[in-house]
Each structure stands twice: as C-alpha cells, then as structure tokens.
C-alpha cells in the first residue's frame, strides 16, 4: 500500500471493480457484501432456501473464525492505542478535517497508535496526524458495496468482511475511543462503546467527543430526555468527555490511566509503560 498521498494506487477500471473478501467480483454481482449475505432474510416457508442457508451458515462460521484469527495476528504487536471514529464524508479542506489531523498528531506524539476505520474523511485525518507524528497508523477497513481502498496514511491496514469482527478489533486493541464529528456510522460506534462501558464489558475506557458545538445538542438530549425520563442514569453522562482542544483529548485519556487490567504489563510502580 502506498503511503504517499500524492500517488494513491490508481485503478483505471476502479468503477467496475468489486471485492467480496479477497474475491474480485464481476460488476453485475456487486452490491452484496459478505455482511449483507450473512444478514439476508430467507423466507422460512421456502424449504430449499432454508436448507441452503443452514449449509452456508455452517461454512460461514469458518470464514468468520479466520477473520478473527487474521485480525488478532495483524494486531498482536500493536502498542497502546486509541481508536478514532468520525465522518467518512469530511472534505480534506474542511476545518473538521484539520481538527482530526491535530487529534491524530496529538495522540501519536503522546505515544499512542491510532486505529481508525481506514476510510476517507475523519478516518483519513486521524491517520494522517498519527503518521506525521511517527506513530503507528492503523486502518481497519470494511468491505462495502462499492470499491474503496484504505486511505493513503494507513501504515498497517486490514480489510474486514464482517462488521462485528472489525468492531471487536476497534475495542480490543484500544484503551480509549475518540469521536470526531460524524453521522450514522460514528453514532453507532459511539453508542456501542457507551453500552460496553455502561454494562462494564470494558472498564476504564474513556470516550472523548471532540467538538462541543457538534456534540452539545446530543449531550443536552441525553440529559434532558434520556436521563430525565429514567432511560439512563444521570451518572451515565459522566462516561462522556467533551473537548475542543486536541491536547485535551490526550489529557482525558491519561486521566483514566492505568488502563484495562492485564492489557499491558505494568511497570514497577504499577503504571503503564509507554
Ligand atoms: C461514504 C463514504 C465512504 C464509506 N467508507 C467507509 N470506510 C470505512 N469505514 C467507514 C466508512 N463509512 C463509515 N465507516 C465507519 O463508520 C464511521 C463513519 O460513519 P459516518 O456515517 O460517516 O459517520 C467511521 O468511524 C467508520 O468506522 C464516502 O466516500
């Protein structure tokens, strides 16, 4: 993969290319990603389709397993890391993109590897900042119905077929989540993280939202509607830290250290070695 943003790998026929996992598909077959095939509804009244589904799903388990193995192998050497989420649609000349670069750089300079979804926009911005800081810049991409490469600032990249496998990697190898402004995907990732922390599936896991003007309305709604109506506890709001300055992202993460027990060997004084 090229790390030169000036010369991303050019495929003259890129519009006609589609991959399902490692398999290159003909244009007329595109549109059905592995996730979509897995989740596809089969009419239970159709006995043939049901039998076919049973057989396919059994084999699918092996594919899912192999994706976990490949992911664990690829990530096994990753040092302390922070996962950064954010909009795939940020333009490289937008102020939010510039903010994302600064966040990635601040994390990299503080000694963290930066993990993103490996795509464009905010993901690319964070990868760029991390790369420029000399930190590990990791992209965990997902198979999509249209061709999309890893962004050019990713140094260690993977392309996952299954959303849930990829999501496991986002959490397992990070000690904090940072959310830049984003849409559906970012909100999904944010609320999954919140649920994992709320239910104590992960502990000491800071979730930092960057951009008070962007996130303020959501926080207000969570307090005024969710907490006010008893859908969440008032303390749940403390699971989120909202900042505007990239240095405050690092500070919020450092404040939660030491990280998850057993994640890294503690130093003699019980702190985490960076
Ligand atoms: C829509 C476009 C590209 C889509 N490419 C993506 N590549 C990798 N990861 C993605 C992509 N789109 C969404 N994600 C994940 O969700 C988050 C962003 O979603 P949002 O809806 O844009 O907020 C991001 O953190 C990724 O993990 C444009 O070319």
Q: What is the pLDDT of residues 120-173, one digit of tens each?
A: 999 999 999 999 999 999 999 998 888 778 999 999 999 999 999 999 999 999
- Ligand 1, residues at Cβ distance < 6 Å: 85-89, 117-120, 123, 141-142, 144, 148, 182-186, 189
- The pLDDT value recorded for residue 17 is 58
**More confidently predicted of 152 and 19:** 152
The Cα–Cα gap between 29 and 44 comes to 25
Q: At what angle do helices 163-172 and 47-75 cross, to 10 degrees?
A: 30
The Cα–Cα gap between 104 and 113 comes to 9
**More confidently predicted of 204 and 28:** 204
Given a cut of 80, whether residue 21 has pLDDT beyond it is no
Structure tokens at 147: 């061709």
Pocket test residue of 124, 168, 185, 191 for ligand 1, highest count of atoms within 8 A of CB:
185
Over range 65-93, report the average pLDDT. Answer: 95
Given a cut of 50, whether residue 191 has pLDDT beyond it is yes
- The pLDDT value recorded for residue 20 is 61
Burial of 204 (0-12, 13-18, 19+ CB in 10 A): middle
Q: What is the mean pLDDT of the chain?
A: 85
Over range 204-232, report the average pLDDT. Answer: 97
- The pLDDT value recorded for residue 1 is 37
Query: What spacing in Å lies between the alpha carbon of 131 and ligand 1's midpoint?
Result: 20
- Per-residue pLDDT band at 189 (split at 50, 70, 90): very high
Q: What percent of the chain has pLDDT over 70?
A: 82
Residue 120 CA to chain centroid, in angstroms? 12
- The pLDDT value recorded for residue 261 is 47
Query: What spacing in Å lies between the alpha carbon of 89 and ligand 1's midpoint?
Result: 7
Given a cut of 90, whether residue 75 has pLDDT beyond it is yes
Query: What spacing in Å lies between the alpha carbon of 87 and ligand 1's midpoint?
Result: 6
- The pLDDT value recorded for residue 80 is 94
Given a cut of 80, whether residue 37 has pLDDT beyond it is no
User: Which atom of ligand 1 has the smallest separation from the CA of 117?
Assistant: 27
- Answer whether the bond into residue 258 is a cis peptide, omega within 30°: yes
Residue nearest to atom 19 of ligand 1 (CA): 185
């Amino acid at each position: 993969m090229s790390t030169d943003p000036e010369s991303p790998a050019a495929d003259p026929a890129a519009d006609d290319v589609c991959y399902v996992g490692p398999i290159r598909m003909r244009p007329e077959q595109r549109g059905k990603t592995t996730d979509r095939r897995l989740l596809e509804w089969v009419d239970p009244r159709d006995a043939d389709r049901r039998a076919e589904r049973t057989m396919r799903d059994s084999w699918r388990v092996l594919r899912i397993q192999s994706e976990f193995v490949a992911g664990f192998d690829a990530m096994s050497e990753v040092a302390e890391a922070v996962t950064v989420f954010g909009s795939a649609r940020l333009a490289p000349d937008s102020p939010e993109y510039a903010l994302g670069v600064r966040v990635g750089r601040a994390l990299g300079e503080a000694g963290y590897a930066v993990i993103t979804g490996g795509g464009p926009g905010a993901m690319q911005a964070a990868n760029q900042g991390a790369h420029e800081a000399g930190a590990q810049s990791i992209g965990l991409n997902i198979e999509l119905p249209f061709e999309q490469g890893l962004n050019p600032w990713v140094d260690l990249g993977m392309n996952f077929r299954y959303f849930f496998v990829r999501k496991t990697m986002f959490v397992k190898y990070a000690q904090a989540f940072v959310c830049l402004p984003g849409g559906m995907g970012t909100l999904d990732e944010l609320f999954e993280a919140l649920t994992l922390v709320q239910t104590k599936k992960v502990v000491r896991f800071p979730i930092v939202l960057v951009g008070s003007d962007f996130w303020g309305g959501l926080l207000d709604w969570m307090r005024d509607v969710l907490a006010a109506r008893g859908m969440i506890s008032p303390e749940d709001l403390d699971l989120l830290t909202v900042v505007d300055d990239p240095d405050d992202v690092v500070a919020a993460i450092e404040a939660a250290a030491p990280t998850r027990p057993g994640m890294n060997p503690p130093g003699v004084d019980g702190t985490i070695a960076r």
